[in-house]
Amino acid sequence: MGSRARLQTGISEEPEKYPKRTCERPRVTVPQSILALALYAKPAAAAAAAAAAAAAMCNNTTFPAASMANPEKAQLPSNLYVALVPFPDAAPLKPPSFPTLSETLGEVASLFRLSLPIAVTALLLYSRSVVSMVFLGTLGELPLAAGSLAIAFANITGYSVLSGLALGMEPLCSQAFGANQPRLLALTLHRSVLFLLCSALPIALLWLHTAQILRLLGQDPDIARLAQSYLRFSLPDLLSFSLIHPVRIYLRSQGITAPVTAAAAAAAALHVPANLLLVRRLSLGAPGVAAAAAASNLALLLFLLCSLRRDPALQRRGGGWGWGERLSGWGPLARLAGPSCVSVCLEWWWYELMILLCGLLPDPKPTVAAMGVLIQTTALVYVFPSSLGFGVSTRVGNELGANRPARARAAAATAVGLAALTGLGALGFAAGVRERWGRMFTADADILRLTAAALPIVGLCELGNCPQTVGCGVLRGTARPAHAAQVNLGAFYLVGAPVAVGLGFGLGVGFCGLWMGLLAAQVCCAGLMLYVVWTTDWDAQARRAQLLTSAPAPAPAPPGRREGRGDADWPGAPGGRRQGELLPAADLDQDGGGDRERMMMICNNVM
């Protein structure tokens, strides 16, 4: 037991003469335990309790008379936490090291089990967007232009916002699952759904006035009017995604992916018949495409809800709350949702900005069309690093919640290595199909020339995009979305945008210059993200995860148990705090002493 772990309280210890007895509590000696009892027990019983504990456990210990005389006036250092129960055995601190081969192979298997179903789900959802664009293309130039504009407007103002806000619950859920806090896990799901529903209301009002906004931005009145009709039929999507995103994250944080994949497959199978009925049979035009997409999203939601209804574990977790608890305690969720939303939107909006910049180039028609083809290509490739990012976010959150920082570090390192391999694969794919890929979308010679010229740059962009996407997933798992938002802001808008404008317009490089700006942004973003991941203090993040998951909803006390904080605070109770869970020391001062006679252990914040 090093002197670093001792409290400076005047306790005399003789390590050479009397061996320390930790009572299976590493870094906390029994004399400190008895002092903690004396400091926190009721004053009248402090001396007797301390003497009894000393006689039973550590009869070789002497106590400072001053501390025992005035136990409530003893000053604790500000860098202490109070643990309700003993910590499990922990090895001494070791310098950071790379995971072993066996650890790496185990993490590869775990990440593949999580990421592959997520990738299949994403591909199924991507196929629906392709089907929608195909049906819009069959309707003519005006419906295609209006539908494309409406989709871009919906992405900027609605879908990106809801997706980003929902990611705020990801670290809460994954860490709660790892910490064995099922009630906190389910309560986070309920709160997130309500949070997204509230956020969807102003978005719906904005969509109802799309035509006026687009006309103010200089868009053609006919296109603006049809785009508003498209978005009115898309309004049910706001309700659907307000539930789909939280349910997917709730399941994914527990390593459950099969129900989501099955639901996505069923929704994709219904998407084509819905378009045939609404667009061809009922002749609803572009609004029919929107209605078909909304119907398939509602079907996806219903399939997910049915899978939850069949989950008996959720029934056990989800009961016992009133609306007061669902509508309160949003602080941690909001503090994570805000930066998560900013991070997602900053990256998502960049691609919309690229399309706008293409419209300012000479001969904008082929450049805008070529940009659309390449963005669809990057969306397809993005499925794989994003799935890996979701997988590593779950793994890191689970391990930090379970207070296993070494495993969290191994998961992060393995995922970054897999991301580098994914980036190399994307680069090889882009270089290999540069002459043939554009022919899948068009036969226009100018579009094919621009696509072939830019595809190698797109591959280089993915070489940086894959590691930065996975790094962003690691930061989500550690509940640090603000770091990702800062990196995206600096990389895309302080580096990428000036380079794109300078090369594309200032130096006359044109279309490829815009993609070079994105390349500069991705390289900068990947470097910064990997630096943040590399310098992560995993032990500190594990302690932080214990604090983040240490406020479960209270449960009624069983018969015969005294009333204090509530049954949820007792280790081992349903929804209660688990072994080794931490609370800030200040939190113990908020109750009236109903359970203050429980043994309190003190450990140093700097483990």
- 442, 371 Cβ separation under 8 angstroms: no
End-to-end alpha carbon distance in the chain: 12
Identify whether 408 is part of a domain. Answer: yes
Residue 143 has pLDDT above 90, yes or no: no
User: How far apart are alpha carbons 240 and 456 in whole angstroms?
Assistant: 38
Check residues 384 and 447 and name the one with the higher pLDDT.
384
Q: Measuring CA to CA, which residue among 347, 345, 367, 343 is closest to residue 355?
A: 367
CA angle 134, 137, 139 (to 5 degrees): 120
pLDDT of residue 16: 41
pLDDT of residue 98: 66
Q: Residues 524-555: pLDDT tens digits?
A: 999 999 999 999 999 999 999 888 877 443 33
- 336, 410 Cβ separation under 8 angstroms: no
What percent of the chain stands above pLDDT 90?
Answer: 36
Please compute the mean of the pLDDT values over residues 237-263 and round it to a whole number.
Answer: 92
Which token pair is 549? 């998951």
pLDDT of residue 209: 92
Which token pair is 46? 């402090």
Q: Residues 445-498: pLDDT tens digits?
A: 888 888 899 999 999 999 989 999 999 999 999 999 889 899 989 999 999 999
Residue 587 has pLDDT above 80, yes or no: no
Lowest mean pLDDT among 173-182, 321-330, 340-349: 321-330
Residue 438 has pLDDT above 50, yes or no: yes
Check residues 317 and 407 and name the one with the higher pLDDT.
407
pLDDT grade, residue 510 (50/70/90)? confident
Q: Measuring CA to CA, which residue among 545, 488, 535, 159 is closest to residue 342?
A: 488
pLDDT of residue 331: 76
Q: Residues 161-175: pLDDT tens digits?
A: 999 999 999 998 999
User: How far apart are alpha carbons 479 and 473 in whole angstroms?
Assistant: 10
pLDDT of residue 87: 40
pLDDT of residue 528: 92
User: How far apart are alpha carbons 204 and 78 in whole angstroms?
Assistant: 47
Lowest mean pLDDT among 48-52, 242-246, 340-344: 48-52
Q: Residues 174-188: pLDDT tens digits?
A: 999 988 888 888 888
pLDDT of residue 327: 64
Please compute the mean of the pLDDT values over residues 2-9 and round it to a whole number.
Answer: 37
Residue 27 has pLDDT above 50, yes or no: no
Following CA atoms 550, 540, 79, 568 in sequence, which dihedral angle do they give, to the nearest 10 degrees?
Answer: 10
Identify whether 417 is part of a domain. Answer: yes
pLDDT of residue 22: 39
Lowest mean pLDDT among 69-78, 125-134, 173-182, 380-389: 69-78
- 143, 424 Cβ separation under 8 angstroms: no
User: How far apart are alpha carbons 418 and 98 in whole angstroms?
Assistant: 15
Identify whether 544 is part of a domain. Answer: no
Q: How far is CA 506 from CA 242, 355, 513, in A?
A: 43, 18, 10
Identify whether 88 is part of a domain. Answer: no
Cross-strand pairs, 603 = 81
Sign of CA dihedral 575, 581, 584, 586: positive
Identify whether 584 is part of a domain. Answer: no
Identify whether 347 is part of a domain. Answer: yes
Please compute the mean of the pLDDT values over residues 67-71 and round it to a whole number.
Answer: 41
Check residues 130 and 318 and name the one with the higher pLDDT.
130
pLDDT of residue 316: 53
**Nearest 5°: phi and psi at 552?**
-75, 165
Please compute the mean of the pLDDT values over residues 219-247 and round it to a whole number.
Answer: 92
pLDDT grade, residue 313 (50/70/90)? low
Identify whether 524 is part of a domain. Answer: yes
- What domain range is 505 assigned to? 101-357+367-536
Residue 349 has pLDDT above 70, yes or no: yes
pLDDT of residue 321: 53
Query: How many independent structural domains does the chain possess?
Result: 1
Cα 123 from chain centre: 20
Q: Residues 192-203: pLDDT tens digits?
A: 999 999 999 999
Chain length of the chain: 607
User: How far apart are alpha carbons 270 and 307 in whole angstroms?
Assistant: 18
Which token pair is 400? 């930090």
Residue 55 has pLDDT above 60, yes or no: no
Lowest mean pLDDT among 91-100, 233-242, 342-351: 91-100
What percent of the chain stands above pLDDT 70?
Answer: 71
Lowest mean pLDDT among 20-34, 266-280, 316-330, 342-356: 20-34
pLDDT of residue 5: 37
pLDDT grade, residue 308 (50/70/90)? confident
Check residues 114 and 598 and name the one with the higher pLDDT.
114
pLDDT grade, residue 395 (50/70/90)? very high
Please compute the mean of the pLDDT values over residues 305-313 and round it to a whole number.
Answer: 71
Q: Residues 285-295: pLDDT tens digits?
A: 889 999 999 99
Identify whether 4 is part of a domain. Answer: no
Lowest mean pLDDT among 6-10, 182-186, 347-351, 451-455: 6-10
User: How far apart are alpha carbons 526 and 471 in whole angstroms?
Assistant: 8
The residues near 296 (Cβ < 8 Å, ≥ 6 apart) are 128, 267, 268, 270, 271, 274
Largest CA distance in the chain: 92
pLDDT of residue 183: 83
- 470, 389 Cβ separation under 8 angstroms: yes
Residue 79 carries which side chain, given as an amino acid letter? N
Residue 142 has pLDDT above 90, yes or no: no
pTM greater than 0.85 (yes/no) = no
User: How far apart are alpha carbons 552 and 575 in whole angstroms?
Assistant: 7
pLDDT of residue 12: 38
What long-range pairs does 58-64 form, CB within 8 A, spacing at least 24? 58/21, 58/30, 58/31, 58/34, 60/14, 60/18, 61/11, 61/13, 61/30, 61/31, 61/34, 62/11, 62/12, 63/11, 63/31, 63/34, 63/35, 63/38, 64/9, 64/10, 64/11
Q: Residues 254-287: pLDDT tens digits?
A: 888 888 999 999 999 999 999 999 998 888 988 9
Q: Residues 356-366: pLDDT tens digits?
A: 788 788 877 78
Check residues 540 and 566 and name the one with the higher pLDDT.
540
35 DSSP 8-state letter? H
